[in-house]
Amino acid sequence: MEYKHILTETDNGILQITINRPYALNALNNEMMLELDFVFTRINSQKELIGVIITGAGEKSFVAGADISEFVGLTEKEGKALSEFGQNVFFKIENMPVPVIAVINGFALGGGCELAMACHMRIAEEHARFGQPEVNLGLIPGYGGTQRLLQYIGKGKAIEMLLTGDAILAEEAKLLGLANHIAPKGDGIALAKNILQKTASKGPVAIQKCIEAVNAYYDHSKDGFREEFQKFGELIKTEDSQEGAKAFLEKRKPVFKGK
C-alpha cells in the first residue's frame, strides 16, 4: 500500500510512524485509519523490529481528533461499523509484540487521545494537551476512549474529562498516570528511542509475553493470573531464560537470541 497520510521510517530496528496531515492538525480520517490498519498488520510479522514510535507531523498536534466532516449523514449502522473498525485498529497497536510508544507533540484530542492510549507508553512533550471532547459534538468516544481512559486515570477523573470535554496539560497527565514522561519540546523522539534501546536489551520473547500478560488483565475473557503462570512456564524452558539465568550467575550481560 502507498501511504497518503502517514510517513514511515525505520532506523536501527525502530519504526517511526508519523501521522501526516498537519494542515488538518493530523485529524484521523477513514483513509488514514486504513493505512494504520495495514501498517500494523504488516509489521506484526517483522521480527527485526525492536519497537515502534508514533508521533504527529508539525509542532502543534499529535492527532487533534477525527475528521468530523466524515461523520455527517452517517446512519446508526455506519456509525457502529466506524467505531468497531477504529477499535480493532487500536487493538492491533495495543497487542503488538514489541513496545509501541506515542510521542505526543501537541494536541491529543478525541481519536488522538485514544490512539495515544492504545500505545504501550506515552511521552508528552511539554506543550501536549490530552482530552476527549466528543460530548461537545453530542457523541461519546468511539475508539476505546471510555474504556482506556479510566484504566489509566481512574473512574472519577476519567468521567469528569468525558462529561466536561475538558483537556488536561502534560504535567497533569503525568501526575494522573496518562503520560509516562514529559520531554522538552522536540525531544520526545530521542527519549522514546532511548527507552526502546533499553527494552531491546532484554529478552525479546519475554517482552512479548509481558505485554500479553498485562493486556490479559483488561480482557474479560481471560484470567490474568492464569495467563501469567502459563507464560512464565512457557518462558522458563526457553534458551533466552536459561541464558539469562546463567549470565546472572556468571555476572555478565546476557546474549538473547529470541528463542
> Would you list the DSSP string of 217-240?
HT-TTS-HHHHHHHHHHHHHTSHH
The answer to whether 111 and 54 have CB atoms below 8 angstroms apart is no
> Would you list the DSSP string of 34-87?
HHHHHHHHHHTT-TT--EEEEEESSSSEEEE-B-GGGTTT--HHHHHHHHHHHH
Residues whose CB is less than 8 angstroms from the CB of residue 89 and which lie 6 or more positions away in sequence, other chains included: 33, 36, 37, 40, 143
CA-nearest of 150, 65, 76 to 112 is 65
Count of helix runs (H) and strand runs (E) in the chain: 10, 10
**Which H helix or E strand runs over 25?**
none
Give the CA distances from residue 57 to residues 117, 118, 153, 157, 186, in Å, rounded to whole numbers and listed in that order: 18, 19, 27, 29, 12
- CB neighbours of residue 181 within 10 Å: 17
The Cα–Cα gap between 87 and 69 comes to 20
Residue positions annotated with a catalytic role: 114, 134
Cβ-count burial of 155 within 10 angstroms (0-12 exposed, 13-18 middle, 19+ buried)?
exposed
